Amino acid sequence: MDVDKEFFNNISNRERAIFEGAITMGALFHQFVGTPVNSESAETLENSIKSAMELQPCIEEVNVLINRKMLEDSKSEFEYISLSGEMMDIKVVSKYDDKTAVLRMKYIEELNYPLMYVENVD
């Protein structure tokens, strides 16, 4: 079965690049929010998220930054906190054929919200 012809024949390469990046961003958010994290484990978690999400179809690159200041400011007596969307700055680069989409998620202070959006499409 040709998956592209069977299920994606009604969208453009541009739309497919955005779709693949958005699926990865949503999976990343819902899979990792709530993960126990502290300053010592943040880099390992960033690398784990990156490695896992780069396995997704069409994903060229994933960059994950966990805000260390927020980790320190929120530290509890248990030596860790749960990862939240507000703590993450994520960039996902997806490519399908001749189109590349850059999707972002970062905390937007004015919105008081970790916003996911399309940063660029080439």
Residues 17-51: pLDDT tens digits? 999 999 999 999 999 999 999 999 999 999 999 99
In a domain? residue 100: yes
pLDDT the model gives residue 40: 94
Provide the CB-side half-sphere exposure for 21 (13 A, CA).
Answer: 30
- Whether the CB-CB separation of 83 and 66 falls below 8 Å is answered with yes
In a domain? residue 75: yes
**Helices and strands per DSSP (H, E), number in the chain:** 4, 6
In a domain? residue 1: no
Total domain count, the chain: 1
In a domain? residue 102: yes
In a domain? residue 48: yes
d(CA 3, CA 18): 17
pLDDT the model gives residue 67: 96
pLDDT the model gives residue 79: 86
pLDDT the model gives residue 74: 80
pLDDT the model gives residue 15: 97
Q: How far, CA to CA in Å, does 106 sit from each of 8, 59, 63, 103, 115?
A: 29, 19, 12, 10, 6
User: Left, alpha or beta for 79 (phi > 0: left; psi -120 to 50: alpha)?
Assistant: left
Assign residue 37 the CATH number of its domain.
Answer: 3.30.1300.20
Q: Which domain holds residue 55?
A: 10-121
d(CA 24, CA 15): 14
In a domain? residue 91: yes
**Residue 113 neighbours by CB under 8 Å, 6+ apart:** 107
pLDDT the model gives residue 114: 96
Regions of the chain with pLDDT less than 70: none
